[in-house]
Amino acid sequence: MTGRTKKLKMDEEENLKKEEEKKKATKDDSETTSEEEKEEEEETEEEDKKRKPTVKKAPAKKAPAKKAPTKKAAAAKKKSKDEDDEEEKDEEKEDEEEEEEEKETKKTKATTSSVSIATDNFDEPKVEENQMKVISWNVAGFKSVLSKGFTEYVEKENPDVLCLQETKISPSDIKKDQMPKGYEYHFIAADKKGHHGTGVLTKKKPNAITFGIGIAKHDNEGRVITLEYDQFYIVNTYIPNAGTKGLQRLDYRIKEWDVDFQAYLEKLNATKPIIWCGDLNVAHTEIDLKNPKTNQKSAGFTIEERTSFSKFLEKGYVDSYRHFNPGKEGSYTFWSYMGGGRSKNVGWRLDYFVVSERLMDSVKISPFHRTSVMGSDHCPIGIVVNLN
């Protein structure tokens, strides 16, 4: 290596060393500045806190002592809460059943219509000029059944009187062009929108129509329509359920509703015989449901409901279907959507024609069940009565 080359190399190394020292000095200055700025910010925050006035919270005012509720007020509050709970449970059950109905409908939609009527011969039983055909059907929502072939069914069945239960519709929401031709119609709704309700369609015009039984605590649920004819009364009813989850309304059903409603029927029966029809929400005997042993404490099969119904029949009335079919099993009018009860015929007989004993001579043939008619979790039932 020459002297010049050596000197150049030394100069280069010295320059690199100076640059590194300069960079280091710059970095140290930067860090120092950053720390100083941070300290200044913290000092400023402390000063701001010192300047900020302290706000003292006003002491909370004590609420005035509440008077203990009277026993009467407490009982009323509890009853109101129980009723609200029951209504919520009813709504939950209806929602569950509607979901199940939709599932069942989707399963069968590809092969059948929503209202299947192919397997029923609607010419039977034959109805003569001096006779009246009465049909009763819990439609589980009138708007719903309208979209499932209701009008087609009515045209084929051709009843003189059609009694509907659980219509869940306000009369003002019913459009005339949706109704079957040739019928007058009358509906009554519950005060609570979308619940209960009954309706009638008539070809044979009644002498008079009565809504309710004249007692406000019952009539606000829209459960009764009475038609008066020359020969008899037709009383269309949707009897209260004792409770969908538990038996919250059992006492109301047995001790209030049954007592007042049966007194109403007795007044009518004193003037002319009655045909009492509808969803009576009771399976009277063990052959009136598929599984009696597991339903001893279920609404519709409690000993209280069955006993109450028995006592009424003992006053001079006849379960017309059992009169003609005393030991027939597996004959049901209601099947839950839950678990596909209808396809397995796991059902209940909840729908009836109860007739005054003195009118039974006018009922010549057994009442009938249209079990192939879909559109609801109940099927239509019918009776033919002589008018002579």
- Give the catalytic positions in this structure: 238, 279
- CA nearest to 33, candidates 21, 22, 25: 25
Phi, psi of 84 (to 5 degrees): -65, -45
Preceding peptide of 69 cis, ω within 30°: no
> How many CA atoms are closer than 13 Å to the CA of 76, on its beta-carbon side?
5
Contact (CB, 8 A) for 214 and 201: no
- Grouping H, G, I as helix, E, B as strand and the rest as coil, residue 125 is coil
Q: Hey, what's the torsion of the CAs at 347, 353, 358, 360, to 10 degrees?
A: -70
In whole angstroms, what is the distance from residue 364 CA to residue 367 CA? 9
- CA nearest to 222, candidates 186, 272, 176, 265: 186
In whole angstroms, what is the distance from residue 211 CA to residue 218 CA? 11
Contact (CB, 8 A) for 89 and 97: no
61 CA to centre of own chain: 46
In whole angstroms, what is the distance from residue 196 CA to residue 238 CA? 7
Q: Hey, what's the torsion of the CAs at 150, 177, 206, 320, to 10 degrees?
A: 0
